[in-house]
Amino acid sequence: MVNYQERLNRTFAALVDPTRRAILARLEREDEASVSELAEPFAIKLPAVMKHLDVLDEAGLITRSKQGRVVTVRLSPRPMKEAMDWLHRYERFWTERLDRLAAFVEREERKARKKEKPR
Amino acid sequence: MTSLTLTRRLKARPSIVFDALTTPAGVAAWWGPDAGPVLLAEIDLRVGGRFRVRFRMLDGSEHESSGEYLEIVRPELLAMSWRWAGNEDPGESHLEFRLRPIAGGTELTLTHSRLHDEDTRRSHEQGWSGALDKLVRHFEGGRAGA
């Protein structure tokens, strides 16, 4: 089984290439596309596009299904979701804690004021 | 340099906020990410002293972080190194709390910098273009996991 860290490594390695990101963005817009449709906007040869699709497939970012001679490519969201969670983890971590810190210190402040007043 | 900055306005004076960051009772009261308990809060508050905090989340997982105090100016500044136990995030990062008195309380600025995998993360972040921003919205929206 591929562990979480390895999956992240693969996802980020796949995302570092602009052609692959453009492919993913297009699949997000269009739900699905054939390999030849995907190859059209790029000034590269079909075999190069196929290589990019292999990388995306290995990272689990797309699925490919074959019907006759047409290979249909679709987006597969889970690895991307994990990557987003990873990038945001510190922000989430601290946001949640600061909410609790605020509640705690405001309680302490009220206590401190009560003590000060009667004197 | 990869870093994260969050700012909050708190309705409490800086000395109270500072103590909440630097006493075991204070830390134990707010550190937990959800309703799970803080299991351990060790604090040796002096430059070169160390802290260690362990907490359990409601899903049962336990997490521990530790570090060394680098700068302490009560009640304005607290800086420490930061590291997760285990391999959650190997490598050491830098955490800083700045407290500034404002009317009715304190403005707290948290900066977490030198995050692990800085180079990788920076290059990825730079590469993450508008197309990817769209994907982000997509995955944060309702269709995630579909």
Which range among A62-76, B11-25, B124-138 shows the weakest confidence by mean pLDDT? B124-138
**Strands B50-56, B62-73: parallel, antiparallel or unpaired by DSSP?**
antiparallel
Cβ–Cβ of B112/A94 closer than 8 Å? yes
Q: What angle do CA A103, B16, B31 make, to 5 degrees?
A: 45
pLDDT band, very low/low/confident/very high, at B117 (cuts 50, 70, 90): low
Closest approach of B66 to chain A, Cα-based (Å): 15
Tokens of residue B8, six digits: 């909050």
pLDDT value at position A60?
93
Higher pLDDT, B134 or B31: B31
Residues of chain A with pLDDT under 70: 1-2, 119
Domain extents for chain B? Answer: 2-140
User: Once rounded to an integer, what is the mean pLDDT over residues B98-115?
Assistant: 89
Residues of A in contact with B55 (CB under 8 A): none
B2-140: CATH topology is Alpha-D-Glucose-1,6-Bisphosphate; Chain A, domain 4 (3.30.530)
Cβ–Cβ of B124/A15 closer than 8 Å? yes
Mean pLDDT of chain B: 80
Which residues, including other chains, have CB under 8 Å from residue B68's CB and lie 6 or more apart? B48, B49, B50, B51, B80, B81
Which ipTM was obtained for this model?
A: 0.71
This prediction's pTM: 0.66
Find the closest chain B residue to A78 by CA distance: B145
Helix (H) or strand (E) holding B12: none
pLDDT value at position B144?
36
Q: Is B103 on the interface with A (CB under 8 A)?
A: no
Does pLDDT of B140 surpass 80?
no
